[in-house]
Amino acid sequence: MKILTWISIVTIVIGMVASCNNNSKITTKTNPSNLMDYKKTYGSSHAILSEEELGHETTSGPLAYAPNIPALTNADTVEIRMDVQHKKITVADGVQFWAWAFGDSVPGPVIRVQVGQIVKFKMSNRSIETARLSPPMPHSIDFHGAMVNPQDKYQSVAPGQTISFEWTANYPGVFTYHCGTPIILEHMIYGMVGMLIVVPKDGFPGKVDKEFAIIQNEFYLKQKKDGSYTVDLDAALKKQPTYVTFNGKYKQYVKSPLMVNAGDRIRLYVCNVGPNNPSSFHVVGTLFDKVWLDGNPVNELRGMQTVLLGSSSSAILEFVIPEPGTYTFLDHELADMELGAVGLIIAK
């Protein structure tokens, strides 16, 4: 009997070990990191600087201005043009200044490409066209979603010049792009910031009813004697913004809320381009039941109340609108809310 008892115990132990090993194998097979197991392309040919006659078109390719999101281009190679202009923009009622803009607005266009696509990028520095109103400046671009030699691809482009280079989208996510010409802080507070979305090969998991792009950025402005406004670099160095906005305008989504239906599943592509301060992004009246940090589905969190985003950090947030009503989205660092980082979602 004792021998049989020991045999039974040994059999049970062996079975438990085998079960643990089997479970371990199952976990390994379903590890989300396997979703990132695909061939990546590093680097590309040298950038080309040229002088070309500039037409009227300042942007082209899969671009849209937030909160809108552009459609994908169904091709292995995507061509994107995004020229730099100096132009007067409005931040709040009665507050305008001469900004340095990618494309036609601040922030610049939302760009959307897919993992594996080759991005052929072209940018002309058109600041020479408004020399009478705003001094021409060298400019550049830095894509946080690209893996290239920055001294080559992100080099400064003189007024009137054009740069062309290419890169391959290796990782899915939501990324910042900005000017990388010194003083980088100055170029960013003049408006040279934007969002890049890189979609996984098979698309983002799950279906949603509505999706919006939300870019948070800071303005540092001072009023001149003539009543006009200009950038305040000293305030930026002290991290004391004049306005903190969603998509470039003070409380614009309080005046013109985002419209949805009760029961909708919403996806927000949120990017805090900074350039200085963090964001504590929150929606009143619901919870984020999916959060993909940096917009990568591998980095998934669930049931979050607030998502902390450092400067240049991002996330994709999914949530359900539970019933008809008005839902406030804001930076829960409440000083930033008072400076403009607040909006409304109205659900009918």
**Per-residue pLDDT tens over the stretch 211-240:** 999 999 999 999 999 989 999 999 999 999
The whole-number pLDDT of residue 286 equals 98
Same domain, 183 and 234: no
Q: What mean pLDDT comes out for the span 188-200?
A: 98
Residues, the chain, total? 348
Neighbouring CB atoms inside 10 A of 323's CB total 11
Q: Answer yes or no: is 151 within a domain.
A: yes
73-102: average pLDDT:
97
Q: What is the pLDDT of residues 25-58, one digit of tens each?
A: 222 233 455 567 778 999 899 999 999 888 889 9
User: Same domain, yes or no, for 171 and 277?
Assistant: no
Cα(18)–Cα(9) distance, rounded to whole angstroms? 14
Domain boundary among 173, 199, 225: 199
Q: What is the pLDDT of residue 34?
A: 56
Looking at the structure, tell me whether residues 281 and 194 fall in a common domain: no
The answer to whether residue 165 scores a pLDDT higher than 90 is yes
What does the block give as tokens for 227? 């009543």
**How many helices and strands, by DSSP H and E, does the chain display?**
6, 25
pLDDT, tens only, 81-94: 999 999 999 999 99
Say which CATH number the domain at 174 has. 2.60.40.420
39 vs 114, 137, 171, 297, CA distance in Å? 14, 39, 10, 18
In the structure, what pLDDT confidence band is assigned to residue 5 with cuts at 50, 70 and 90?
A: very low
**Pick from 170, 199, 228: which residue ends a domain?**
199
Q: Is it the case that residue 130 has pLDDT exceeding 80?
A: yes
Q: Cβ distance 303 to 40 under 8 Å?
A: no
* CA separation for the pair 193, 108 (Å, rounded): 6
Q: End of a domain among 171, 199, 227?
A: 199
Q: Domain for residue 173, yes or no? A: yes
Task: Say how many CA atoms lie within 13 Å of 283 toward its Cβ.
Answer: 26
Same domain as 220, residue 163: no
Q: Answer yes or no: do 279 and 341 share one domain.
A: yes
pTM: predicted TM-score of the whole model, two decimal places: 0.89
The answer to whether residues 231 and 115 belong to one domain is no
35 in a domain, yes or no? no
Q: Is there a domain that residue 178 lies in? A: yes
Does the residue 318 lie in any domain? yes
Which pLDDT score is estimated for 178? 98
The verdict on 68 and 167 lying in the same domain is yes
Residue 135 and residue 259 share a domain: no
Average pLDDT of the residues in 170-179:
98
Beta bridge partners of 343: 329
- How many separate domains does the chain show? 2
- Residue 127: is its pLDDT beyond 60? yes
- What are the start-end ranges of the H helices in the chain? 2-29, 150-153, 184-189, 233-237, 252-255, 334-338
Report yes or no on 308 lying in a domain: yes
Give residue 227's domain range: 210-347
Per-position b or e across 53-73, b if 16+ CB within 10 A of its CB: eeeeebbebbbebbbebbeeb
pLDDT band at 206 (very low <50, low <70, confident <90, very high): very high
Query: Are 173 and 240 in a shared domain?
Result: no
Q: Are residues 237 and 334 in the same domain?
A: yes
In a domain, 204, yes or no: no
Residues 6+ apart with CB under 8 A from 156: 138, 139, 140, 181
Q: Is it the case that residue 152 has pLDDT exceeding 90? A: yes
Share of the chain above pLDDT 70, in %: 90
97 and 53 fall within a common domain: yes
User: Does 168 reside within a domain?
Assistant: yes
Is the pLDDT confidence value at 23 over 60?
Answer: no
Average pLDDT, the chain: 91
